[in-house]
A and B are shown apart, each in its own frame.
Chain A
Amino acid sequence: MTLSRILFLAFFSFFSTSALATTEVKDPLNSPMWDYMVEQFFKDVPWKFDDRVKVITPKVAEDSARVPVSVRAEGIGKVEEMIVIVDLSPFPKVAHYYPMKTEPYLELRLKLNEASAIRAAAKTSDGVWHIGGMYVDGAGGGCAAPRIKVAGPGWADNLGKVQGRLWKRKNGTERIRVRVMHPMDTGLVNNIPAFYIETLSITDQKGALLARLDSFEPVAANPVFSFEIKGGHGGYALKGRDNNGNDFRAIVLPKVK
């Protein structure tokens, strides 16, 4: 950790002056990897810590293989992109969300490899990344520990099957929650290659694109994603693909009463 900081300092002092300002801002989560996160995700782009970008997650992760994380970026203007980052992880980037016509809100479950800062960054239309986060303690091992395989031998039978639900919220938004059956293997366990959903798009029932999500290795197996849409469309189509090229599709409709 010290080494990475030294390397980073050496690096930016040679190449970058704009990043200099950023390292003078103290990381509120005091993470040893923050400089490296800046180097990877916010190099040469404007960013700031912003409490209005909220990450809600348990303070202690009971199950490091699936830690629920909810991120919301309200009151900062139109959000074009959101990313979820875990500082101390073999795969810091968890998800990249393009809210487009949906709310700047995303909920997912992730694998925690060790206690770490979990952050969300939201890019507003002026190009500035607003960054919030929370520190989560936990036993870890979610990405790499040899564990009881989440995907049993029958995973292929259910691969890409989607369950979903819609409901209206009091604030006038509609929430979509989907679960996609997928092992989401990181490639670090039991000699099983990395195998994860790469992309998921949400359209209305006429096919107009509402949002896109790119997901990565640390998203928990059989991922559950939640999205919100103001007003709502009363029905959605989902389309996705994993890194092996398996496609899946589903239509999510309101519950028939």
Chain B
Amino acid sequence: MKRTLAATTIALGVGALLAGASTASYAGVTEQDILNDAKTTHQIVTNGMGTQGQRYSPLKKINTDTVSKLVPAWSFSMGGEKQRGLEAQPIIYDGVMYITGSYSRLFAIDIKTGHEIWEYNARLAEGMMPCCDVINRGAAIYGDMVYFGTLDAKLIALDRKTGKVIWKKKLGDYKAGYSYSAAPLIVKGKIITGVSGGEFGIVGRVDARDAITGDLVWSRPVIEGHMGTLNGKPSTMTGVKNATWPGDMWKSGGGATWLGGTYDQETDLLFFGTGNPAPWNSHLRKGDNLYAASRLAINPDNGEIVWHYQTTPRESWDYDGVNEVISYNLDGKKLAATADRNGFFYVLDRTNGKLQNATPFVDKISWAKGIDLKTGRPIFDPANRPGDPAKGDGKKGTQIFAVPAFLGGKNQMPMAYSPDTSLFYVPANQWGMDLWNEPTTYKKGAAYLGAGFTMKPLYDTHVGELKAIDPRTGKIVWQYNNKAPLWGGVLTTGGNLVFTGTPEGYLKAFDAKTGKELWKFNTGSGVVAPPVTWEMDGEQYVAVGSGWGGAVPLWGGEVAKLVKNFNQGGSVWVFKLSH
């Protein structure tokens, strides 16, 4: 076989785009549909239920008076043996729900019946290295295409009616640790993506591709010293090489943009967060390490960074700065808020990134005594940075107890903002960790941490806390305590309700003003996905994915005891009011 087929072929390999393969007619989701998504109640065409990411719906048929009558309309099982974390938000369009499952699967489901229309199963490379479960956070939709990214770092555009692939693009080398887990963002005809893989010394990037063809328009690495591109040519360098990074450390500097971003039409800015600088051991990279652990405002037309706000300069505790930036207007100001892994709730002027306020949203923060509102910089507590291993026995530096733990005061689960109550609803966790540094060097495809850690709950009673935060003052207006860590994301509605899920399996509804628990339903597996709501045939529906997983059961340390009896799943639940 080998002998007879030798030598005479020029193999061009995989990856080239089939010219003219696209057959979609693009009569579907328009730019205007996407920009109006927050106000539109019959469909959900963006992650965040609006590009600003507020996760607020004006619908009010389900409200504090009626929510007790909420009952299941249908449930859909994603099937197979692939029951792992389900962190995706559904997209609802033209009678179809598009939702991603574990192991890079995408499902199209009839929203009236719960019947599957099609599914796409990625054949994943065995050598891929997702850090924190084989999850995905949802699809994007534009024209007649639906998009999602895979664990082996591919971006795929499919015909929304047939599930056939229109194009497929490589976002990074999975062997170097690149992966993809966020929901893509559609802005001005472009599909905007980040990358995952922060634990492997990859370099975070934000890319914009033509949403129709998949061709790269611009790319913006988020670590200083790397060159951006625009229309196939080098554009500008990110930051100034070696300004805040020593030596060659910037070359594998992390800053994974793994949670995706939001877009604000009023300022015409993309807001992307960046992960921790690599490696964890900060003694190897003295300096602020821009733009890791930061929020970036990016021009969607050319990929230039318009402003940045670094939440944790010279980050040392795995406080990724990726958490979602939600745009909102209050008291005549154009603001944005974000609840960081590091335990602070930040309010920024979203026109220029200037800090307006920063307040703790967890009980204890060990790494900083506060945030200087004049300079916007944290007031570090030097005793609470793990010690330099090079100064001890060379193997392990001084161990500290850090709060929050590396999974953060808040992690990937998106918060919500209600313009009715002017409150943010933040799913938070109270935990700490033993943390120490170790020496490390970068090696392609190997974990690049230089640190060890174990997690510990702060309280015997609970870890999770859903908090209503007044962004004017940072004051906690109410909170709901949950025994297991919260990981599920929040929805708030015009019915004065707040919905969130729990790892115990419940989808719960609370009074948005008082925090009183009004309704719950056990979905059979842990809820670690954000709920959504929409209106169809005159009735209001609520949907949420159910499938325990994500980072907590993998990295939980002592916290794992709290969750060891939670079983896996992989389903979608849809609810409506009984008559």
Give A contacts to B, CB under 8 Å. Answer: 153, 155-156, 159-166, 177-179, 183, 185, 187, 191-195, 224, 239, 241, 243-256
Contacts and interface: CB of A to CB of B under 8 A. Distances in A.
A243 B11 CA distance: 20
Given A153-B126, A156-B126, A191 B81 contact: yes
Contacts of B17: 247
Contact of B168 (A194, A245, A253): A245
B176 to A, nearest CB: 14
Nearest to B18: A247
Interface in B138-182: 152, 156, 158, 165-168
Nearest to B156: A245
B392 interface: no
A109 to B, nearest CB: 11
Given A156-B127, A163-B6, A250-B10, A244 B81 contact: no
Given A244-B120, A246-B14, 20 more contacts: A156-B127, A159-B14, A160-B14, A161-B11, A161-B13, A162-B9, A163-B11, A165-B4, A166-B8, A192-B123, A195-B123, A224-B5, A239-B18, A243-B165, A246-B15, A250-B12, A251-B12, A253-B8, A253-B9, A255-B7
A101 B13 CA distance: 26
Interface string B58-80: 00000000000000000000001
Contact of A253 (B5, B6, B10, B166): B10
A246 B8 contact: no
Given A191-B80, A193-B121, A195-B123, A248 B12 contact: yes
B551 interface: no
Interface residues of B, number: 35
A252 B8 contact: yes
Given A156-B127, A191-B80, A249-B16, A244 B8 contact: no
A-B interface, 10 closest residue pairs, ranked by CB to CB distance from nearest: A245-B165, A193-B121, A160-B14, A195-B123, A156-B125, A245-B168, A163-B5, A153-B126, A164-B9, A249-B12
A244 B9 contact: no
Nearest to B6: A163
A142 to B, nearest CB: 18
A179 B168 contact: no
A193 B14 contact: no
A177 B18 contact: no
A256 to B, nearest CB: 8
A250 B11 contact: yes
Residue among B7, B12, B123, B166 with max Cβ neighbours from chain A (10 Å)? B123
Report whether over half of chain B's contact residues are helix, strand or loop; otherwise say mixed. loop
Nearest to A240: B18
Nearest to A239: B18
Interface of B: 1, 4-18, 21, 80-82, 105, 120-123, 125-127, 152, 156, 158, 165-168
Contacts of A162: 9, 11-12
Contacts of B122: 193, 244
A144 to B, nearest CB: 15
A155 to B, nearest CB: 8
Given A244-B168, A245-B168, A247-B15, A185 B123 contact: yes
28 contacts: A160-B14, A162-B9, A162-B11, A163-B6, A163-B9, A163-B11, A165-B6, A166-B8, A178-B5, A187-B121, A191-B80, A193-B105, A193-B122, A194-B121, A195-B121, A195-B123, A241-B18, A244-B123, A244-B165, A245-B165, A245-B166, A247-B14, A247-B18, A248-B13, A249-B13, A251-B12, A252-B8, A253-B9
B236 to A, nearest CB: 32
Contacts of A179: 1, 5
Nearest to B14: A160
A224 B423 CA distance: 63
Interface core residue of B18, B125, B156, B166 (most chain A CB under 10 Å): B18
A178 B10 CA distance: 11
Contacts of A193: 105, 121-123
Contacts of B165: 241, 243-245
Contacts of B4: 165, 177
Contacts of A166: 8
A246 B9 contact: no
A245 B198 CA distance: 27
A246 B167 CA distance: 8
B406 to A, nearest CB: 30
Nearest to A199: B18
B5 A164 contact: yes
Contact of B9 (A194, A195, A250): A250
Nearest to A252: B9
Contacts of B5: 163-165, 177-179, 224
Contacts of B18: 239, 241, 247
A141 to B, nearest CB: 20
Nearest to A166: B8
A153 B127 contact: yes
Contacts of B11: 161-163, 250
Contacts of B1: 179, 224
A253 B105 CA distance: 39
B15 A165 contact: no
A109 B254 CA distance: 46
Contacts of B125: 155-156
A176 B291 CA distance: 54
Nearest to B165: A245
A143 B9 CA distance: 30
Contacts of B127: 153, 156
Nearest to B7: A255
A247 B165 CA distance: 10
A153 B21 CA distance: 30
A247 B8 contact: no
